[in-house]
């Protein structure tokens, strides 16, 4: 049983995998405030729509928009995930569509993590067809060494090594999203 009150934990053991603390709640929250300030400055003359990519981005989206000092709207859509694996299937499909009309609007795609960049590339192509006035991408995390697609990310919380992470919205087999901080897969394995 996870004891959230006692976070941060020294380690989390999932099967043979050991996850250790990586980004604290404080580090995450202070970086989000900086990102929100930047976004606030950049969207002074418009009402942007923040579009979250489910499931991973829901916590980041929530904290980010609370620190954005602007009139804004939000919506979510859902892409296929990794399933229960730690490695991408290399395929993306749309599982839940967007409800809002983005034609002529300034949209900001909100991602939890950019790994190969395939999801963001898919999203950009999907929305480009719907004629938004502008489209930017904000991600909490990016693994620059894993990038395989030529995509531009406009706001980046943290560049991190190409290792699997959990917590703060990010899951492993759908679990651990509710942790307030982020943990990384360590070299150590549980015997
Ligand atoms: P990409 O399409 O390869 O850029 O992968 C992006 C998606 O994969 C993210 O939105 C996450 O849902 C998932 N993902 C990538 N790396 C991790 C990770 O380290 N932990 C949890 N999910 C991840
Ligand atoms: Mg995701």
Instruction: Determine contact, residues 154/134, Cβ cutoff 8 Å.
Output: no
pLDDT at 29: 98
**Under a CB-based contact definition with an 8 Å cutoff, are residues 55 and 173 in contact?**
no
Tell me the backbone φ, ψ of residue 25, rounded to 5 degrees. -55, -40
Question: What CA–CA distances, in Å, run from 56 to 5, 110, 175?
Answer: 22, 10, 11
Q: Which residue's CA is the nearest one to ligand 1's atom 5?
A: 115
The alpha carbon of residue 101 and the mean position of all alpha carbons in its chain are separated, in whole angstroms, by 22
User: In this predicted model, what pLDDT tens digit does every residue of 8-22 receive, in sequence order?
Assistant: 778 999 888 899 999
- The Cα–Cα gap between 36 and 111 comes to 14
What rounded mean pLDDT belongs to the chain? 90
Burial class (CB in 10 A: 0-12, 13-18, 19+), 9: middle
Residues with CB under 6 A from ligand 1: 56, 81-82, 88, 111-119, 164-165, 170
Q: How confident is the model at residue 79 (pLDDT cuts 50, 70, 90)?
A: confident
Q: Which atom of ligand 1 is nearest the CA belonging to 146?
A: 3
Per-residue model confidence (pLDDT) at position 62: 98
Across 103-119, average pLDDT:
96
Q: Which residues surround ligand 2, an ion (CB under 5 A)?
A: 56, 112
Q: Is pLDDT at 43 greater than 80 in this prediction?
A: yes
Enumerate the active-site residues: 115
Model confidence pLDDT, tens digit, residues 125-173: 989 889 999 999 999 999 999 999 999 999 999 999 999 999 999 999 8
Q: Could you tell me the distance, in angstroms and rounded to a whole number, from the CA of residue 59 to the centre of ligand 2?
A: 12
Mutational pocket test of ligand 1: of 20, 56, 76, the residue with most ligand atoms within 8 Å of the beta carbon: 56
pLDDT of residue 81 exceeding 70, the answer is: no
């Amino acid at each position: 049983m996870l004891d959230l009150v006692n976070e941060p934990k020294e380690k989390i053991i999932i099967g043979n995998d050991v996850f250790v603390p990586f980004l604290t709640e404080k580090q995450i929250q202070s970086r989000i405030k900086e990102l929100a300030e930047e976004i606030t400055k950049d969207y002074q003359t418009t009402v942007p729509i923040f579009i979250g990519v489910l499931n991973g981005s829901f916590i980041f989206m929530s904290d980010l928009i609370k620190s954005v000092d602007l009139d804004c709207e939000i919506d979510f859509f859902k892409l296929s995930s990794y399933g229960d694996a730690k490695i991408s299937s290399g395929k993306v499909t749309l599982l839940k569509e967007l409800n809002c009309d983005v034609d002529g609007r300034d949209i900001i795609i909100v991602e939890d993590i950019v790994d190969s960049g395939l999801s963001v590339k898919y999203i950009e192509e999907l929305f480009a067809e719907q004629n938004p006035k502008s489209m930017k991408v904000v991600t909490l995390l990016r693994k620059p060494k894993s990038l395989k697609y030529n995509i531009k990310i406009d706001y980046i919380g943290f560049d991190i090594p190409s290792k699997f992470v959990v917590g703060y919205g990010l899951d492993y087999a759908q679990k651990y999203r509710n942790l307030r901080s982020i943990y990384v897969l360590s070299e150590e394995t549980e015997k």
